[in-house]
């Protein structure tokens, strides 16, 4: 959330500006606003989500959640084509989904400015891989800016639009978890809305059939050369002098913050804000001014590779691992500097693995899948936690939509032997993102597949964003609601069932029936997320200790509200929502709902 601090008057224009603390993501959204961005289309993905949520608070910006990142990027391109500045945002794995339009709009260029925001997740705090998005900039031959704090997030967003329009190119703006989700001081300004750029029909520029694309490729190569020349002189890349030239450090993003915390002004630093294309002569000159050139960067040796291609000797990934995040202590250790701060806590902190919330509607469904000993192809969402003990009900998780497509391939390869023992699970938002086409494939190529859509009426994992099945848009306004049952039938699935995941008996009987059916089927497990504000919960359960025999059957669902002490079950009334799933496991009627007075 934005924190307002103090206001001061500028001397030259006599108008008020403001200094405030902002998250990096909020600062980027502010930069979009001040630069006159008109259209924002994104798909939520940590750590990028708040950029779009913050942008939606500005009434001058049209903001939306798209079904997936590919659609978001194509929407942003369409807005640019119409002459308005646009933005699309996603996390690093979302850029994989949007790679198809990415590589082609690199050829077409833009009409009005267009920014593609991507947030990497070094350390995999909420991601299935540790991908380095800088490679996309190099592969697609697009410029990429990389802020190191919130102030740069705002400034770089504005600079990216200028760069986009000056060089006729989409611009990648790369964030990371630490910059996205940390706060620092920014100075806000006024919105300057540029005049719309008139749309002109330019078939050779925008219609990428082979004949036209061949003519655009040389344009892209020349643009890269022009951008390299720009990188040599832009203030986005700056040298910060130091007192000791024994070591010179090239760095960027959050790694720059670690270096400055550890070293201060001791060593000269080449701080790169434009991470692609990289300057050449500027790096050579910097290297010549120090005894030992060192590159400090997270994940891959991207800057290091560029420097080595320039023929420079340096220290880099031979000291700094390509795995996980860096830290102040790690940078200090590798540079041989004694840090002033950054001590580890003395006491042992117990681990807190992620777990489904108390009352999570997915819990009963996964308990049933585990009980039936089924092979379960999983997907991306809160329900991925169904893989964790004691539920242990998921066999694979790859990417959004992979459960549905993977199930089809698994069954085809198994020759019918696994049809009655294998299912796919996918969330409502994820189904809209990438599951539909997999279900079309199941219907079209006729595998005897059972797909379970876990409909919790929200996009839960990334913080309760709306999606096409909820009936509300990004701003919370009522909108078209996609009917999952009708959609599944429309693509050719004749058997569509709806179950309440709190009812273990119903879940088990329906799953058995659909697995036994000689055709494809969809089961919709429907109950709202327990954390939604409008959900009215029942009173917490209590334990009759005289009836509890300590069998621990209630522990098999892994509910954080249930524990066992001194051989008896206990319920944390601050967590329990009275869902009743545990009651169905207790053969001794020890778990009871409070009596109505």
Q: Which two tokens stand for residue 517?
A: 């059916």
Determine what percent of the chain is predicted with pLDDT higher than 90. Answer: 90
For the stretch 358-378, pLDDT in tens is 999 999 999 999 999 999 999
DSSP of 259-316, one letter per residue?
HHHHHTTSS-EEEESEEESPPSHHHHHHHHTSSEEEEE-SSS-HHHHHHHHTT---BS
Burial class (CB in 10 A: 0-12, 13-18, 19+), 589: exposed
Q: Which two tokens stand for residue 133?
A: 């998005």
461: confidence class by pLDDT, cuts 50, 70, 90: confident
* Cis geometry, peptide bond prior to residue 181 (ω within 30 degrees of 0): no
Q: Which two tokens stand for residue 131?
A: 């991908």
What pLDDT is attached to residue 351? 78
Q: What is the CA radius of gyration of the chain?
A: 27
Burial class (CB in 10 A: 0-12, 13-18, 19+), 343: exposed
Topology adopted by domain 542-592: Alpha-Beta Plaits (3.30.70)
For the stretch 279-333, pLDDT in tens is 999 999 999 999 999 999 999 999 999 999 999 999 999 999 999 999 998 999 9
Q: Are residues 567 and 521 in contact, defined by beta-carbon separation less than 8 angstroms?
A: no
Rounded to an integer, what distance in angstroms lies between the CA atom of residue 199 and that of residue 535? 47
Angle at 385 between CA 420 and CA 570, to 5 degrees: 105
Angle at 463 between CA 39 and CA 452, to 5 degrees: 105
Neighbouring residues of 147: CB distance < 8 A, sequence distance ≥ 6: 24, 28, 153, 155, 156, 173, 175, 179, 253, 273
- Mean pLDDT on 135-153: 98
361-526 shares the fold of 237-335: yes
Indicate the class that CATH gives domain 237-335.
Answer: alpha beta
What pLDDT is attached to residue 355? 87
Rounded to an integer, what distance in angstroms lies between the CA atom of residue 470 and that of residue 472? 6
Q: Are residues 69 and 88 in contact, defined by beta-carbon separation less than 8 angstroms?
A: yes
Rounded to an integer, what distance in angstroms lies between the CA atom of residue 316 and that of residue 591? 59
Rounded to an integer, what distance in angstroms lies between the CA atom of residue 289 and that of residue 176? 30
Residues making up the annotated binding site are 548, 551, 554, 559, 576, 579, 582, 586
What pLDDT is attached to residue 350? 80
Beta strands (DSSP E) in 109-240 are: 114-120, 144-145, 171-176, 183-188, 237-240
Residues paired with 175 in a beta bridge = 119
The CATH H-level superfamily of 18-232 is: Thiamin diphosphate (ThDP)-binding fold, Pyr/PP domains (3.40.50.970)
For the stretch 214-226, pLDDT in tens is 999 999 999 999 9
What pLDDT is attached to residue 340? 63
* Cis geometry, peptide bond prior to residue 389 (ω within 30 degrees of 0): no
Q: Which two tokens stand for residue 463?
A: 């913080």
Measured CA to CA in angstroms, residue 473 lies from 271, 465, 480 at distances of 40, 9, 9
Q: Mapping DSSP to helix (H, G, I), strand (E, B) and coil, where does residue 104 land?
A: helix
Rounded to an integer, what distance in angstroms lies between the CA atom of residue 181 and that of residue 480? 32
Rounded to an integer, what distance in angstroms lies between the CA atom of residue 531 and that of residue 250? 45
Q: Mapping DSSP to helix (H, G, I), strand (E, B) and coil, where does residue 28 land?
A: helix
Spell out the domain ranges in the chain: 18-232, 237-335, 361-526, 542-592
1: confidence class by pLDDT, cuts 50, 70, 90: very low
Closest CA to 180 of 133, 129, 95, 118: 118
What pLDDT is attached to residue 596? 60
Closest CA to 16 of 187, 194, 151: 187
What is the DSSP code (8-state) at residue 432?
I
For the stretch 494-544, pLDDT in tens is 999 999 999 999 999 999 999 999 999 999 999 999 999 999 999 999 999
pLDDT at residue 235 is higher than 50:
yes
Mean pLDDT of the chain: 93
Rounded to an integer, what distance in angstroms lies between the CA atom of residue 214 and that of residue 204? 10
Rounded to an integer, what distance in angstroms lies between the CA atom of residue 150 and that of residue 186? 6
What is the DSSP code (8-state) at residue 584?
G
Q: Which two tokens stand for residue 416?
A: 């019918």
* Continuous segment of H or E residues that includes residue 6: strand 3-9
Residues making up the annotated binding site for [4Fe-4S] cluster are 548, 551, 554, 559, 576, 579, 582, 586
Rounded to an integer, what distance in angstroms lies between the CA atom of residue 496 and that of residue 520? 9
* The model scores a pTM over 0.95: no
SS3 string of 335-386?
Answer: HCCCCCCCCCCCCCCCCCCCCCCCCCCHHHHHHHHHHCCCEEECCCCHHHHH
- Mean pLDDT on 240-266: 96
For the stretch 166-217, pLDDT in tens is 999 999 999 999 999 999 999 999 999 999 999 999 999 999 999 999 999 9
- Mean pLDDT on 89-104: 97
Q: How far is CA 222 from the centre of its chain?
A: 33
Q: Mapping DSSP to helix (H, G, I), strand (E, B) and coil, where does residue 235 land?
A: coil
Q: How far apart are the first and last CA of the chain?
A: 43
Closest CA to 64 of 43, 82, 50, 78: 43
What pLDDT is attached to residue 343? 65
Indicate the class that CATH gives domain 361-526.
Answer: alpha beta
């Amino acid at each position: 959330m934005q924190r307002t601090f103090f206001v001061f008057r500028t001397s030259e224009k006599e108008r008020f500006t403001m200094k405030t603390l902002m998250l990096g993501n909020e600062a980027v959204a502010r930069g979009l606003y001040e630069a006159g961005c008109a259209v924002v289309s994104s798909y939520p993905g940590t750590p990028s989500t708040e950029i779009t949520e913050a942008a939606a608070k500005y009434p001058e910006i049209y903001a939306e959640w798209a079904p997936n990142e590919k659609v978001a990027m194509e929407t942003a391109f369409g807005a640019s084509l119409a002459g308005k500045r646009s933005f699309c945002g996603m996390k690093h794995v979302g850029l994989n989904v949007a790679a198809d339009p990415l590589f082609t709009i690199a050829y077409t260029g833009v009409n009005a400015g267009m920014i593609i925001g991507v947030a990497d997740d070094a350390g995999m705090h909420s991601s299935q891989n540790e991908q380095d998005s800088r490679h996309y900039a190099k592969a697609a031959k697009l410029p990429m800016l990389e802020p190191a704090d919130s102030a740069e997030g705002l400034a770089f967003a504005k600079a990216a639009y200028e760069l986009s329009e000056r060089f006729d190119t989409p611009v990648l703006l790369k964030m990371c978890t630490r910059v996205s989700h940390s706060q620092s001081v920014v100075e806000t300004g006024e919105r300057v809305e540029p005049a719309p750029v008139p749309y002109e029909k330019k078939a050779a520029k925008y219609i990428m059939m082979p004949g036209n694309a061949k003519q655009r490729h040389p344009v892209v190569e020349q643009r890269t050369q022009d951008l390299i020349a720009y990188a040599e002189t832009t203030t986005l890349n700056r040298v910060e002098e130091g007192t000791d030239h024994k070591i010179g450090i090239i760095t960027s993003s959050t790694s720059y913050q670690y270096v400055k915390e550890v070293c201060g002004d001791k060593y000269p630093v080449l701080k790169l804000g434009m991470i692609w294309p990289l300057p050449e002569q500027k790096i050579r000159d910097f290297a010549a001014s120090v005894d030992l050139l060192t590159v400090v960067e997270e994940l891959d040796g991207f800057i290091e590779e560029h420097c080595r291609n320039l023929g420079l000797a340096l220290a880099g990934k031979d000291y700094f691992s390509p795995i996980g995040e860096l830290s102040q202590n790690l940078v200090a250790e590798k540079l041989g500097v004694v840090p002033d701060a950054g001590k580890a806590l003395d006491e042992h902190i117990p681990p807190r693995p992620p777990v489904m919330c108390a009352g999570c509607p997915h819990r009963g469904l996964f308990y049933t899948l585990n009980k039936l000993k089924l092979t379960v192809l999983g997907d991306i969402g809160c329900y991925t936690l169904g893989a964790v003990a004691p539920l242990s009900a998921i066999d694979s998780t790859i990417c959004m939509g992979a459960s549905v497509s993977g199930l089809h391939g698994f069954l085809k390869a198994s020759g019918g032997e696994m049809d009655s023992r294998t299912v796919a699970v996918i969330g409502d938002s994820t189904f809209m993102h990438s599951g539909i086409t997999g279900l079309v494939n199941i219907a079209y190529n006729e595998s005897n597949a059972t797909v379970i859509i876990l409909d919790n009426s929200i996009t839960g994992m990334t913080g309760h964003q709306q999606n096409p099945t909820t009936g509300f848009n990004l701003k919370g306004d009522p909108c078209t609601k996609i009917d999952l049952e009708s959609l599944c039938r429309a693509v050719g699935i004749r058997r569509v069932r709806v179950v309440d995941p709190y009812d273990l008996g119903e879940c088990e009987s329906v799953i058995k029936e659909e697995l036994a059916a000689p055709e494809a089927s969809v089961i919709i497990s429907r109950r709202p997320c327990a954390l939604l504000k409008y959900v009215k919960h029942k009173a917490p359960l209590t334990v009759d200790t005289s009836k509890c025999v300590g069998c621990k059957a209630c522990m098999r669902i892994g509910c954080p509200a249930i524990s066992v002490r001194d051989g008896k079950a206990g319920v944390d009334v601050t967590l329990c929502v009275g869902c009743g799933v545990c009651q169905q496991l207790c053969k001794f009627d020890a778990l009871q709902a409070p009596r109505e007075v």
